[in-house]
Structure 1
Amino acid sequence: MSSEAEFPETFPFAVGPLGEPPVELSELRAKCPVSRVTLPSGDEAWVVTGYDEVSSALSEQRLSRAALREPGAVRMVKGPDFGDNPYSLFNLEGADHARLRRMIAQAFSPRRAEVLRPRVQEIADELVDRLLQLPQPVDVYAEFCALLPIWVVCEIVGAPVEDREQIKEWTETLMSVGSNERRLEAREAFGGYVRGLVAARRAEPQDDLLSILVQARDEDDRLSEAELTWLGAELLLAGHDTTVNTLGRGIFQLLRHRDQWELLTARPQELTDSATEEVFRYAPPSDAGLIRVALEDFDLAGTAIRKGEGVIPLMHAAARDERHFAEPERFDITRTGNRHLVFGYGPHHCPAAGVARMEVQVALGTLARRVPQLALAVAPEEVAWRGGHITLRPETVPVIL
């Protein structure tokens, strides 16, 4: 079956009302879960919207991130982009990708997440203490969601917590699909910043991940200097941005679905874990996806993919597939068997999934226990959503406590 159209849809699609996924996704999934679209660059690619099809694409070895560096490769935007960096963990394949993942695996494993949980709880409680002292209404996105994950990742990696605003600013620019010039400037500035952290750790090692990576570079020769720099930068960026946006979208959806918020506040110990998984499924951090390039001709769910074509698996679209989720459009924090794909699947499964899960569990559980009266200060329809970025988030989430 082929979804080739005479005039392909333009992707990314506009965010749906109330921060919901774009309406085009369900339409494409119903017509054909592998559909041709036009990207902002003018290139065409295939977007994958069905659960089984997304799983297949994510584990397909004939789809490559590294091939984005080939001349003439499909681009999301014109000019230099993430796909150009040969040292990026996102763009590596095979042995090099596995080597770098092994170096950071312990720092972000589920076991390490449980060691970190008490410290994350301290940070969450401190942020709630601050919330309670602020004039109302309070922007819970800016004063809680945007602070907790970056605070945590700074401590894990080894960046000064007081630098979090600058790190957040670079992240906002790098995750945009706007000016290439601004993104390149931010990338170089961020790289220079991490090189400064590396020099500091060489001079005086600390109990943090960056010190471990410096040792791996200097004593064991297990990674290059460029790999060390960009791995540090990507850990700081990806280690907080997706969790920030998941919290922003998730808290909005919990407060919008008042019955679900009241259910969580009544039974936080019992329902925090399942609420976390439903937030990941229903309100993931992005409505975009990373392009992969076909290394050869092959068939994906009945659609002929040709060598050199771009394929974009959409994990968030798979989360609304009625073939795998009962009433997928319903937000239900009691949902069981919630096998969403928000962390990916296959070789590029998110290495920090364990820590991200723990952070969202702590955040939701803390708010449910300490401020059960939390409520939106505006009608849900009045909350604005920020477009033009790879990730999706509300501009603000004004609340009363």
Structure 2
Amino acid sequence: MSETQASAPDQVPADRYPLPLAPLAEPPRRYSELRDKCPVTKVSLPSGDTAWMVTGFDEVITAMTDRRLSRAALRDPGAPRMIPGPDFSDNPFNLLNQEGPDHARLRRLIAPAFTPHKARIWRPRVERIADEIVDRLEAGPRPVDLHHEFAALLPIWVICEMVGAPIEDRPKLQEWTDRLISVTAYTSEQRLAAREEAAAYVAALVAERRKDPGEDLLSALITAQDEKDRLSDRELVWLGINLLVAGHDTTVSALSRGLFMLMRHPDQWRILCERQELTERAVEELLRYAPSSEIGFMRVATDALRIADVDVAKGEAVIPVMHAAGRDPRRTEDPDRLDLTREEIQHIAFGAGVHYCPGAGVARMELQVAFSCLARRLPSLRLAVPAEDVRWLGGLLTVRPEALPATW
């Protein structure tokens, strides 16, 4: 056992979570060292509490699937906290914070909205939106900010249409999202205000759809029924927030970070442009190599358990960093190499276990459409500045650039 793992509980851990990104938006360098020496290690949190950070692929799977590690237990009195003051883990109506029968019931009711068939139905519309955005890019000046003018626009446009929210509301939806997913970038007061504002907004959308239902997801959720069980108004509001926030933000980050990595590796971009049949595989490789976040969702142990050679006591926090697992050499040969032709690709970008992302199929479809459209329409796409000059925002759950200047 390493010194970090063997340290006394009252000793301050050497690592402070979240760890900073390495240059060029690469994962924190410390992940590689920890995976090799101690894939389960104690870290200190912004709140002053401590947690076990898990970075190895197999260990992350264990932490995400063991029912003794609970998101709901984060609300127990005295439970470790990620940050001082309220955050989204305090909200018992957020799907990610629920466990047991209520969680299973909600997932069962929303499942029909996210079937592979639904993704296929939406794909032509997403393709038209992507082409329309590229039409605008081609008609405008260069360089363009590929993050704000494409990567941040496409997913929120799509989710607004899917949910039934006006696309004109995009600026305030993005502002609420930034505050809701903040770790250290915003204050507790700003996060709580965003939660209340977003809830009021979605409640108004629900009221409109009850009067005038459409073909959107919110209308489908209002009428969702399973053995005469319907969603309550409060459940509808928070599912709507989940859809509008989680339904676009992680896709935005995966798209921006993936585009940056492709432009950093022009040989891989050429492969994608010349071999469009590799698009699905390319999306999986980019999710492994450059996922949307380097931050894991914390859980609390409801009973003692063991992960690898570390004993986790009841009441201790565990952070499975599912994105660190994608670079585990025990699962991926030469994991620090981006290779769109890689045949066996293993990642946990959408989670595992009961909290596996219900919208994974739709997110994959959007990413496939986005990368395919740009490869087809703008094959000479490249960074308009040195890669080192691209600045990345901190303090959020997801990874995104301040801007992504590109030309062709």
TM-score (norm 2): 0.96
Deviation at 1:362, TM superposition (A): 0.4
Residue 264 of structure 1: aligned partner: 272
Q: CA deviation at 1:159?
A: 1.0
Residue 365 (1) aligns with residue 367 (2): no
**Residue in 1 aligned with 2:123?**
117
The equivalent of 1:333 in structure 2 is: 340
Larger mean Cα displacement after TM superposition, 284-293 or 159-168? 159-168
Task: State whether structure 2 residue 199 is matched by structure 1 residue 191.
Answer: yes
Distance in 2 (CA, whole Å) between partners of 1:109 and 1:20 is: 33
- 1:175-190 equivalent positions in 2, closer than 5 A: 175-177=181-183, 178-190=186-198
Residues of 2 paired with 1:83 and 1:188: CA distance? 15
Q: Does residue 76 of the first structure (1) align with residue 51 of the second (2)?
A: no
d(CA) in 2 for partners of 1:170, 1:243: 16
What displacement does 1:115 show?
A: 1.2
Structure 1 counterpart of 2:12: 7
1:392 aligns with 2:380: no
Q: Once the two structures are aligned, what percentage of the paired residues are identical?
A: 58
Report the CA distance between 1:225 and its aligned residue.
2.0
Structure 1 residue 101, shift from structure 2 partner: 1.1
Q: 1:360 to 1:353 in 2, by over 3 A?
A: same
Is it true that 1:137 corresponds to 2:135 in the alignment?
Answer: no
Q: Deviations over 1:73-118 (max 9, x none)?
A: 1111011111111111001111111111122212222221111110
**Aligned AA for 1:333?**
L
Q: CA deviation at 1:332?
A: 0.6
Distance of 1:207 and 1:272 partners within structure 2: 29
**Aligned position for 2:209:** 201
Selected match of 1:160 from 166, 186, 190:
166
Distance 2:290 2:45 in 1: 24
AA in 1 matched with 2:12: F
Further displaced range: 102-111 or 84-93: 102-111
Is 2:249 the counterpart of 1:241?
yes
**Post-superposition offset of 1:237:** 0.3
* Structure 2 residue 105 is matched with structure 1 residue 89: no
1:34 aligns with: 40
1:351 matched residue in structure 2: 358
Query: Would the aligned equivalents of 1:107 and 1:156 in 2 still touch at CA under 8 Å?
Result: no
Query: Residue 320 in 1 paired to residue 327 in 2?
Result: yes
Distance 1:220 1:80 in 2: 35
CA contact (8 A) 1:137 1:399 kept: yes
RMSD: 1.4
How far apart are 1:132 and its partner, in Å? 0.5
| CA-CA distance at 1:119 after TM superposition | 0.5
2:281 pairs with 1:274: yes
Q: Is contact 1:28–1:49 with CA below 8 Å preserved after alignment?
A: yes
Structure 2 match to 1:210 = 218
Q: Does 1:382 align with 2:377?
A: no
Structure 2: unaligned runs, 5 residues or longer: none
The Cα shift of 1:374 comes to: 0.6
- What corresponds to 1:301 in structure 2? 308
- 1:255 corresponds, among 253, 258, 263, to 263
Aligned equivalents of 1:283 and 1:95: distance in 2?
A: 34
Letter of the 2:254 partner, please give it: T
Question: Which residue of the partner structure matches residue 289 of structure 1?
Answer: 296
Amino acid at match of 1:13: L
Query: Do 1:4 and 1:35's aligned partners in 2 also have CA atoms closer than 8 Å?
Result: no
- Between the aligned partners of 2:96 and 2:193, the Cα distance in structure 1 is 20
Letter in 1 for 2:48: G
Q: What is the CA–CA distance in structure 2 between the aligned matches of 1:274 and 1:26, rounded to whole Å?
A: 24
How far is 1:221 from its partner?
4.5
Q: CA deviation at 1:198?
A: 0.8
TM-score normalised by structure 1 residue count: 0.97
Deviation at 1:192, TM superposition (A): 0.4
SS in 1 for 2:193: helix
Contact 2:222 2:231 (8 Å CA) reproduced: no
Task: Assess if the C-alpha contact under 8 Å between 1:25 and 1:317 holds in 2.
Answer: yes
Q: Secondary structure at the match of 2:41?
A: strand
- Cα separation, 2, equivalents of 1:16 and 1:45: 22
2:52 matched to which residue of 1? Answer: 46
Spell out, residue by residue over 1:291-333, the C-alpha distance to the aligned partner (whole angstroms, 9 max, x if none).
Answer: 1000011111121000000000011100000000000000111
CA contact (8 A) 1:375 1:399 kept: yes
Structure 1: tracts of 5 or more residues without a match: none
CA contact (8 A) 1:33 1:49 kept: yes
Distance (whole Å) between structure 2 residues aligned to residue 376 and residue 107 of structure 1: 37
SS at match of 1:293: strand
